[in-house]
């Protein structure tokens, strides 16, 4: 059966039934900017940045949430689209306290990048913004809701991807805020500190506490590696500055973890630079060998061979059981 078609910026293209306009555009290599869109979660159309023009539609439509239709005529780069996107970016900037100089996310912020791209040099709208004190009461995540744009990505990351259901929207209207049950601090909530909300946050509202002040994004290089903790083999980026790991994030779209990590993989990297780390074999002198569960299977095999065959003891174990 022939595939449905639509016209994208004047070009006739085929698409798969069920695809959204955004997915069709991405498949065709046409870039539509997004902020709230989180792949693998149900689109919400909350931020209105991915607006496009559909011939015959009463208003511009959010391409992330609008199913593509046979015969549609779509413009992703028209004047109306640009004017509307620009206005929405200005409103988002005006809705919080966005002093990029003091923000941990400077250089790695999607809102900042969009403001630059659309040539926004001044904030036209001066409204009353909610004042939120920075919450750094837990050991791993800094929450600064004065920079939150209420895109909802953190909620989707927590509820739809990690299925922890620790956070959601709270309060109403201008007082809306992302909260745990009862608006308690993370450490007193159902949060398991996987940090998926931090990875999903496109702005500086959620940041890794251990990385604060250590490096700007352009000062680090990203080194891809496999998580050393368990057998799942999650793919992660080490963010390295001057030979030191300052942050860990998940590799988006890679198997087996598809952009997710647990608390150990994301935050448990202090051992790398710990002065207490063993760098030579520790000799206990008690006829017993304990090898490292983080090392490869072949090393563990060789370790038991050494102890059974050379040293002559069956007292051999590794730390996975501790």
In angstroms, give the least distance from the CB of 162 to ligand SF4: 5
In whole angstroms, what is the distance from residue 248 CA to residue 110 CA? 19
Q: Which is nearer to ligand SF4, 5 or 97 (CB)?
A: 97
Judged by CB under 6 A, the residue of 30, 66, 148, 250 near ligand SF4 is: 148
Q: 63 is written with which tokens?
A: 């391409």
Assess 203 for contact with ligand SF4 (CB under 6 A).
Answer: yes
Q: Which stretch binds ligand SF4 (CB under 6 A): 9-17, 117-125, 187-195, 277-285?
A: 187-195
3-state DSSP of 258-320: CCCCCHHHHHCCHHHHCCCCCCCCCCCCCCCEEECCCCCHHHHHHHHHHHHHHHCCCCEEEHH
Q: 231 is written with which tokens?
A: 């057998």
In angstroms, give the least distance from the CB of 198 to ligand SF4: 7
Sketch the per residue contact string, 84 through 123, with ligand SF4: x for CB under 6 A, - otherwise. Answer: --------------xxx--x-xx--x-xx-----------
Judged by CB under 6 A, the residue of 32, 149, 236, 316 near ligand SF4 is: 149
Residue with tokens 């929405």: 88
Q: 249 is written with which tokens?
A: 């994030």
Greatest CA separation for the chain: 83
Q: Which is nearer to ligand SF4, 99 or 129 (CB)?
A: 99
Q: Which stretch binds ligand SF4 (CB under 6 A): 21-29, 64-72, 146-154, 228-236?
A: 146-154
In whole angstroms, what is the distance from residue 68 CA to residue 6 CA? 8
Q: Which long-range contacts (CB under 8 A, 24 or more apart) does 169-174 make?
A: 174/128, 174/130
Q: State the DSSP code for 230.
A: S
Q: Which is nearer to ligand SF4, 151 or 236 (CB)?
A: 151
Assess 266 for contact with ligand SF4 (CB under 6 A).
Answer: no
Q: State the DSSP code for 176.
A: -
Q: Which stretch binds ligand SF4 (CB under 6 A): 25-33, 62-70, 163-171, 245-253?
A: 163-171
Judged by CB under 6 A, the residue of 52, 61, 89, 197 near ligand SF4 is: 197
Residues lying near ligand SF4 in the complex (CB under 6 A) are found at: 98-100, 103, 105-106, 109, 111-112, 147-154, 157-158, 162, 164, 166-167, 178, 191-197, 200-201, 203-206
């Amino acid at each position: 059966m022939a595939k449905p078609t639509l016209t994208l910026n004047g070009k006739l293209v085929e698409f798969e039934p069920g695809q959204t306009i955004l997915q069709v555009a991405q498949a065709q290599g046409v870039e539509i900017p997004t902020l709230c869109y989180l792949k693998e979660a149900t689109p919400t159309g909350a931020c209105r940045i991915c607006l496009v023009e559909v011939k015959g539609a009463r208003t511009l439509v959010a391409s992330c949430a609008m199913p593509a239709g046979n015969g549609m005529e779509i413009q992703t780069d028209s004047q109306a689209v640009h004017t509307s996107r620009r206005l929405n970016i200005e409103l988002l900037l005006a809705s919080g306290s966005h002093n990029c100089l003091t923000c941990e996310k400077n250089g790695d912020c999607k809102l900042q990048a969009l403001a630059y791209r659309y040539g926004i040099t001044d904030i036209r709208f001066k409204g009353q913004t909610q004042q939120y004190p920075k919450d750094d009461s837990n050991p791993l995540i800094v929450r600064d809701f004065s920079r939150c744009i209420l895109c909802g990505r953190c909620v989707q990351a927590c509820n739809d991807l990690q299925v922890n259901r620790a956070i959601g929207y709270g309060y109403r209207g201008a007082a809306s805020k992302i909260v745990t049950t009862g608006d308690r601090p993370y450490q007193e909530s159902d949060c398991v500190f996987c940090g998926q909300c931090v990875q999903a946050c496109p702005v500086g509202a959620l940041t890794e506490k251990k990385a604060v002040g250590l490096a700007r994004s352009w000062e680090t290089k990203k080194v891809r590696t496999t998580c050393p903790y368990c057998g799942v083999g999650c793919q992660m980026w080490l963010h390295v500055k001057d030979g030191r790991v300052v942050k860990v994030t998940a590799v988006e779209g890679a198997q087996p973890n598809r952009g997710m990590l647990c608390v150990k993989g994301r935050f448990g990297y202090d051992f790398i630079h710990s002065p207490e780390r063993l760098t030579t074999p520790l000799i206990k002198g008690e006829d017993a060998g304990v090898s490292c569960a983080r090392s490869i299977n072949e090393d563990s095999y060789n370790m038991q061979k050494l102890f059974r065959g050379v040293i002559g003891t069956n007292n051999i174990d590794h730390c996975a059981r501790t």
